[in-house]
Amino acid sequence: MKKLIQPIALAAILAASGAVQAQVVLKLGYATSATSHYGVGSTAFCDEMEKGTQGRYKCQQFPSSALGGEREQIEAVQLGTQDIVNTSTGPLGNFVPEVKIVDIPFLFRDYDHARKVMDGPIGQDLQKKMEAKGLINLAWTENGFRHMTNSKRAINQASDASGLKMRTMENKVHMDGYKTFGILPTPMAFPELFTALQQGTVDGQENPIPVILASKFSQVQKHLSLTGHVYSPAALIISPAVWNKLSAADKAVFTAAAKKGAAAQRKKVNDDENTGIAQLKSEGMLVVEKVNGESFRKAVAPAYAAFAKEMGADKIAAIQAVK
């Protein structure tokens, strides 16, 4: 009988001392579907994190804005009522003004340039600014280069966008930039967008190909123009309420897992960019693949003076100089 009691007693002592840790389930939310680039990146992070902590931590994912729009989710993570969010930087500038700089139109040349900036000293500095505002960015994930869709007409050059009522993110930098194209920017939370397009409340929207695919916008939009007017980074942000309780070893596991998640998310963006145009065409969208990029750059040039004043011409130049 004694032999049976001893292991049970030992387990009780260990549990009382905290040596046996109960499993912690973390709530992770994002705006798009579970099969989207956000879903792919989040799943890679969660799998790696659960494995690295021997199952002591695991995720419960809430895709498709189940926990609210991106702005609401960032706020919930800041407050500690949500554990993790995988979000675009669009609404992040409302919490951390310094992040607004990455949303300037035509700032990044291509994916290679954008990723080098976000993974280098500039991106690391922005992460520190986020930390000061109660948002721990584990890794820069990705949303992708944004393109325009609408239900009215083909957009070949900047003047073709004039007069279109376009849903934009709740982001002043985007809105100020798009006004230079003659667009009538209409800020709206992402969960409301599909219905607004369906009902004609707005004529169009702008998002990366992975979002256009995952959201099935081809059902409510006829025209797609590959404007690539803004690179949209994303961030995997954990609440300080969770982060500050982690051991140094677990923090290292979470950070390494986030890098794996970011790599998986970026790969999905690449894959969607490579195959998505053909898919959207097959779904009936009319695609302008070669827009007059110079007309857009010329149109947005006056807004750069305001961006330089607000964010620092030197900081903009530093991003542009990254090779």
Q: Is residue 302 part of a domain?
A: yes
Q: Look at residues 22, 10, 298, 309 and name the one whose alpha carbon lies nearest to residue 157.
A: 298
- 23: helix, strand or coil: coil
Q: Is residue 281 part of a domain?
A: yes
CATH number of the CATH domain containing 116: 3.40.190.170
Q: Is residue 292 part of a domain?
A: yes
Yes or no: say if 117 and 124 are a contact pair by the CB < 8 Å rule.
no
pLDDT digits (tens, 9 = 90+) for 285-320: 999 999 999 999 999 999 999 999 999 999 999 999
Q: Is residue 27 part of a domain?
A: yes
- Share above pLDDT 70 across residues of the chain, in percent, rounded to a whole number: 93
Q: Is residue 249 part of a domain?
A: yes
Confidence of residue 164 (pLDDT cuts 50, 70, 90): very high
- Has residue 235 got a pLDDT over 60? yes
Looking at residue 170, its pLDDT comes to: 86
Structural domain count, the chain = 1
H or E element, residue 226? strand 223-238
Token couple for 311: 């964010």
pTM for the full model? 0.90
pLDDT digits (tens, 9 = 90+) for 5-15: 455 554 454 44
Mean pLDDT for the stretch of residues 185-191: 94
pLDDT digits (tens, 9 = 90+) for 14-69: 444 444 567 999 999 999 999 999 999 999 999 999 999 999 999 999 999 999 99
Q: Is residue 229 part of a domain?
A: yes
CB environment 138-155: b (16+ within 10 A), e (fewer): bbbbbbbbbbbbbebbeb
Looking at residue 9, its pLDDT comes to: 53
Yes or no: say if 102 and 231 are a contact pair by the CB < 8 Å rule.
yes
φ/ψ of residue 209, rounded to 5: -55, -45
312 conformational bin, left if phi > 0, alpha if psi -120 to 50, beta if neither = left
Range(s) of the domain holding residue 133:
23-321
Residue recorded with tokens 């992460």 = 127
Q: Is residue 2 part of a domain?
A: no
The three-point CA angle 39-89-199 to 5° equals: 75
Q: Look at residues 141, 138, 162 and name the one whose alpha carbon lies nearest to residue 152.
A: 162
Tell me the pLDDT of the chain averaged across its residues.
Answer: 94
Q: Is residue 277 part of a domain?
A: yes
Q: Distance between CA 292 and CA 3 in Å, rounded?
A: 81
The amino acid at 87: T
Yes or no: say if 296 and 228 are a contact pair by the CB < 8 Å rule.
no
pLDDT digits (tens, 9 = 90+) for 111-138: 999 999 999 999 999 999 999 999 999 9
